Amino acid sequence: MVDRVVRKKRYAVLIVTYGEVEKLTLRNLWPSSRRILKVITSQIVKVPKILVYFIADFRSTRHFINWRLNGYRSRLLSINRAQTKAVAHCLSESCDPLFDVVDVAVIDAYYFVPPYLETVLKEQQSQCDGVVLVPMIPVESAFSCGVACRMIADEFSENRYSRIRLLNKLWRDPDLHRIYVDYLFSRVDAGIKGEGAGKIGLVLVIHGTLVRDRAGNPPKVFTGLDETGLFFDMMKNRIMADSRNMFSDVRQGCMNHSAGGEWTSETVQKALAAFRDEGIDNVVMFPYGFFADNSETEYEARKELTRSGFARVQYVPCINESQPFACWLARRITSEMQTLNSIQQTFESMG
């Protein structure tokens, strides 16, 4: 009697973020800016096609001059690749029985720079049995994981329910909050928290979102506004209740855009101004609303902190390649793969 050989399924895990150019040239910036306008800005502002190239090229030129003069180079892609490798390592070390029947490939992909997400989805659709997509930003909205949802619908059509899973609601996970708090307290400099150093304020930086459109109405797209506020409240309460807490106050600091109407009011600038009014001596900044450092965190937000005028300031980088973070994410991914496998088994049993 010959035992039947059972073929392992192959799942692809896509670690997805926006993407920023690594090599700073106008030739690289132009297509990236045009994709941002078409994919993101067009959801809140109707941009005539004739203006897309003009606006995108103007933005590209502005970024090129600004970043070149200040010596800034984005690390977003290199961090995302490192996160991809770290997640792959954590998955390879897992003893979960799922991996007796499933092989996994972990791949990085991007919305605005190659390898583009839609290209990777198209490739994996024909090469694998299922996909788990991981948007690398904690709070979902039409501007973050919503972009991935539209690409999934385009590439997988009616098969998306049995072939693909999308990680979401990561901001609600108490394990993420614990990892964040442990990471934050481990990174604060001794000079900031030392005896006699004065009162310390903490700015938690997150991407802002649209509150009202140009007509003063609620946006027609899902913006994640309530989720952004709840995430901050959860993190602030967790930090303030921790026995290691050295902060006198914790404030939200939103990084906003200008297009489309009214954006979140709790900006980084207002947080810093409020700390000055409160007599705060030193300020720590932590971008908890981003899983990887990028131009909005380590360049724009950090610049606001550097010129804020407090006695001491410290920028704590994003969670980036943190091993506890990568292994937490791997556990969340494994759970989604288990769900996907169960769904597929149900479909298979129905013939």
More confident residue, 159 or 69: 69
CA 203 – CA 172 distance, rounded (Å): 20
Task: Evaluate whether 9-170+324-349 and 174-315 have a shared fold.
Answer: yes
pLDDT at 1: 42
Tens digit of pLDDT for each residue in 31-76? 998 888 777 766 656 767 777 778 888 889 999 999 999 999 999 9
Of 184, 110, 88, 137, residue with least CA distance to 291 = 137
Residue 176 token pair: 């993420």
Residue 45's pLDDT is what? 63
CATH architecture for the domain at 174-315? 3-Layer(aba) Sandwich (3.40)
pLDDT of res. 53: 74
Extents of the domains making up the chain: 9-170+324-349, 174-315
Question: Once rounded to an integer, what is the mean pLDDT over residues 216-245?
Answer: 94
pLDDT at residue 234, rounded to an integer: 98
Per the confidence metrics, is the pTM higher than 0.85? yes
Q: What average pLDDT does the structure give for the chain?
A: 91
Residue 310 has pLDDT above 70, yes or no: yes
Tell me the CATH architecture of domain 9-170+324-349. 3-Layer(aba) Sandwich (3.40)
Q: What angle do CA 42, 70, 76 make, to 5 degrees?
A: 55
Provide the edge-to-edge strand list for the sheet that holds 282-286: 249-255, 200-207, 282-286, 312-315
Question: What are the tens digits of pLDDT across the range 247-302?
Answer: 999 999 999 987 778 999 999 999 999 999 999 999 999 999 999 999 999 999 99
Helices and strands, number each (H, E), in the chain = 12, 10
Residue 194, pLDDT above cutoff 80: no
Please state the rounded mean pLDDT for residues 167-175.
Answer: 96
